Amino acid sequence: METFKSPPSKFVLNTKIFLTKLRKAIVRNVVRATKEVDKAIYADSLVCFNCGNELRTENEFYTTLCGACSNHLPARRGRHCKYCGAYTIESDEKVCPDCRLTPPEFERVIAPFENKGVVKQMLHDYKKSGFKYLYLYIARFITDHFLTAGYYADYVVYMPSTKRQRFITGFNSLKKIADYFSKRTGIPQIYPVYRSKNIPEYMAGTDRATRYESLYGVFSINPEFSIDVLQDKTIILLNDHMNTGATENACARVLKENGAANVIIVAFARS
């Protein structure tokens, strides 16, 4: 006679789920602790982030990169779309085909680097590998480039993150960068928006208009924030990396709908 096992109780299932999450959290924290010890022993600020050679000059200490690696940073050169920052196809074009077809909610993108090479590795190690000290060098590159460009703004807003992102990284990766940027430029920070829902999945391969509409409602105005502050102001929307610009556009839309006159995207890297 065939026998059947009764399904596990809800208590047993919840216990297994809890233990699995606990085990993952322990492993994650052990990895982070190991990296913190390594940083204390090997003094990251004294060697090049990319090649490991000893830093010698004041500028090398300022950027955490040796002279040779600094010379190979993937700087953004050439003609870009005046709105989204994408490379234009024709040499005399000022606006890319995507922006002519679907204009973004923001006015300009300011980013010093392409998202590749040492820049891509720096972003990865900062956000996903626990190298929190890198915020200072990323913030310096962003701020120096913005000041050199000579733009002005009334307020700084950093891109809101989700609780899941903060749980994975263990900290708010943009908060420290925004604090440094605000202090150096003298532009005050405000916190008018928050992420009210997750970004939809499976948007790869869709056109810009579809991505823009799919992200409608991802950001909302903070109910405790007075929108009078935004009226006719120029806002810097700070991010570490801009990819397609759809997420930044969704956040800029909320700012514009609540009174902001202009939104400028400032990022460390642009894909």
Residue type, 4: F
Measured CA to CA, the distance from residue 70 to residue 83 in angstroms comes to 28
For residue range 112-146, list pLDDT tens digits in order.
Answer: 999 999 999 999 888 877 788 888 999 999 999 99
pLDDT digits (tens, 9 = 90+) for 150-194: 888 999 999 987 777 666 666 788 999 999 999 999 999 999 998
pLDDT single digits (tens) 88-108: 766 667 888 888 888 899 999
Closest CA to 268 of 172, 164, 126: 126
Give the model confidence (pLDDT) of 216-240 as tens digits. 888 889 999 999 999 999 999 999 9
Domain ranges of the chain: 75-270
pLDDT winner (highest mean) among 28-37, 59-68, 158-167, 255-264: 255-264
What's the CATH fold of domain 75-270? Rossmann fold (3.40.50)
pLDDT band at 42 (very low <50, low <70, confident <90, very high): very low
Length of the chain: 271
- Whether the Cβ atoms of residue 242 and residue 109 lie closer than 8 Å to each other: yes
User: Average of pLDDT values for 39-64?
Assistant: 75
Tokens read off for 66: 């040796």
Spatial separation of the C-alpha atoms in residues 179 and 174, rounded to whole Å: 9
Q: For residue 109, what are its two tokens? A: 């993108």
